[in-house]
Amino acid sequence: MKLYGYADQGLDAEHIVPMALAEATLCATPHELRRIAEFLLGCAAEMERMGDAYDHVHLGDRMKEFDSTSPHLVVACAEQP
């Protein structure tokens, strides 16, 4: 697993370059963590079902309560060795 991210500097998407992160911290409520866990389980099932066709999924696209009030959380398929 690799973790990528970038600071919210108000840049347009085409000017943002994700960087590898050594650590990430989720400051969330128990309810938010359970919803994120539900999202991640769904992503895992979809990734297995779609195989190589799976690209990425945004939490805010699947769970609207995370759409505008949260940083973007994106799940992408890891490259297989």
Residue-wise pLDDT for 5-41, tens only, equals 887 777 777 788 888 999 999 999 999 999 999 999 9
The answer as to whether 43 is a domain residue is yes
Structural domain of 26: 4-76
Cα separation, 43 vs 56, in Å, equals 9
The answer as to whether 55 is a domain residue is yes
The answer as to whether 53 is a domain residue is yes
The answer as to whether 56 is a domain residue is yes
State pLDDT tens for residues 51-78. 999 999 999 999 999 987 778 899 999 8
The answer as to whether 81 is a domain residue is no
**Residue 81: pLDDT band by 50, 70, 90 thresholds?**
low
Cα separation, 55 vs 49, in Å, equals 12
pLDDT score of 6: 81
The answer as to whether 58 is a domain residue is yes
Count of the separate structural domains present in the chain: 1
The answer as to whether 11 is a domain residue is yes
